[in-house]
Amino acid sequence: MNNAEPLEIYLEEQDLGRGLREDVRVGLGATPKWLPPKWFYDARGSELFEQITELPEYYPTRAERAVLAARAPRIAEATGAKTLIELGSGSSEKTRLLLDAFTRRGGLGSFVPLDVSVSALRQSTEQIATDYPGLRVRGIVGDFTRHLDRLPAGGRRLVVFLGGTVGNLLPPERAAFLAAMRAGLEAGDWLLVGTDLVKDPRVVVPAYDDAAGVTAEFNRNVLRVVNRELGADFDPEAFRHVALWDPENEWIEMRLRAERPMRVRVLDLVVDFAAGEELRTEISAKFRPTGIAAELDAAGFCAEHFWTDPEDLFGVTLARAV
């Protein structure tokens, strides 16, 4: 018996295309220019990111996994959740540590992963349904910045937002996201959020600028996505990958730097780049424990537990909706 329900789809291909066109118009028309990081992740971009997570320089995935491996039984015990919801689930690989802990404890009835990719979500839900036969699996195709109101209601819920993805949002976007998250939950529900921690830039920067050049290829992939989907004529190889630490904002910025003057045509736009001009493609904010607790508090959560890996590289906060 297959316990994976049909996917609930709230995000169609035309929605993605419309969103890409809007982001390109706004971002390439801005000063300085920018594109949001969600457009990295076509099939090739997802493959490159999986490679990044295995690189020696890239500590966040390993550190977060270490926290979850150590603390998953405590999370299951503290929350007593009946429904586990994962935002931006991807393959749900790290979430299996939680599912195993909840399975041993008993009481978890359903797992609800949300992701923008139909194919990735279908594959992961079918695999999890096979591996956890007593669990109801209900995949939602949606955008965590737009479709939090589609999450299932009722029962004690634990929402999981891993990978430090919350750090890709600018502070006002983060505040809006956390407020929307709280609005979608009831008092007593839980939020588990992973955040990369502030540390020596000599550790942080190489994680975004690896020696093998995988992150550089990942960064340039956003231009290939725009070329393919919107008929643009970017020359990705004419842009150099740049990763910079911003000490004031305590975040990494990934940028693409034009190595020569060029003119790019996309949609009905003509976009000029000067030699050396940079296009921002991602921020990745790093947090202090007091900072993430304060942001959660402002949104209506109480941070009950904060855990790190043995090297204090990455933090996982368990917060209760109040």
Q: pLDDT tens-digit profile of 270-285? A: 999 999 999 999 999 9
The overall pTM is greater than 0.95: no
**Contact (CB, 8 A) for 87 and 121:** no
Burial 27-39 (b: 16+ CB within 10 A, else e): bbeeeebbbbbbb
Residues 124 and 289: their CA atoms lie apart, in Å, by 32
How would residue 303 be classed by pLDDT, with cut points 50, 70 and 90?
very high
| CA-CA-CA-CA torsion sign (254, 260, 261, 266) | negative
**Between 91 and 154, where is the model more confident?**
154
CB 223 within 8 A of CB 262: no
The pLDDT assigned to 217 comes to 98
What is the per-residue pLDDT across 23-45, written as a single tens digit (0 to 9) for each? 999 999 999 999 999 999 888 99
**Token pair listed for 237:** 């190889």
Distance CA 70, CA 54 (A): 20
CA angle, 231 as apex, 225 and 233 as ends, to 5°?
A: 85
- Mean pLDDT over 164-184 rounds to 95
* Cβ neighbours of residue 216 closer than 8 Å, sequence gap 6 or more: 209, 240, 241
Instruction: Output 251 or 145, whichever has higher pLDDT.
Output: 251
Contact criterion met (CB below 8 Å) for 285 and 194: no
pLDDT in tens, 216-260: 999 999 999 999 999 999 999 999 999 999 999 999 999 999 999
pLDDT of 13 strictly over 80 = no
Q: What is the pLDDT of residue 46?
A: 87
- Residues 2 and 304: their CA atoms lie apart, in Å, by 36
Are the C-beta atoms of residues 188 and 157 closer than 8 Å to each other? no
- With CA atoms as reference, report the closest residue to 303 among 178, 183, 213: 178
pLDDT band for position 75 (cuts 50, 70, 90): very high
The burial of 305, by beta-carbon neighbours within 10 Å (0-12 exposed, 13-18 middle, 19 or more buried), is given as middle
Choice between 142 and 119, residue whose per-residue pLDDT is larger: 142
Whole-number pLDDT of residue 287: 98
Is 196:163 a contact under the CB 8 Å cutoff?
no
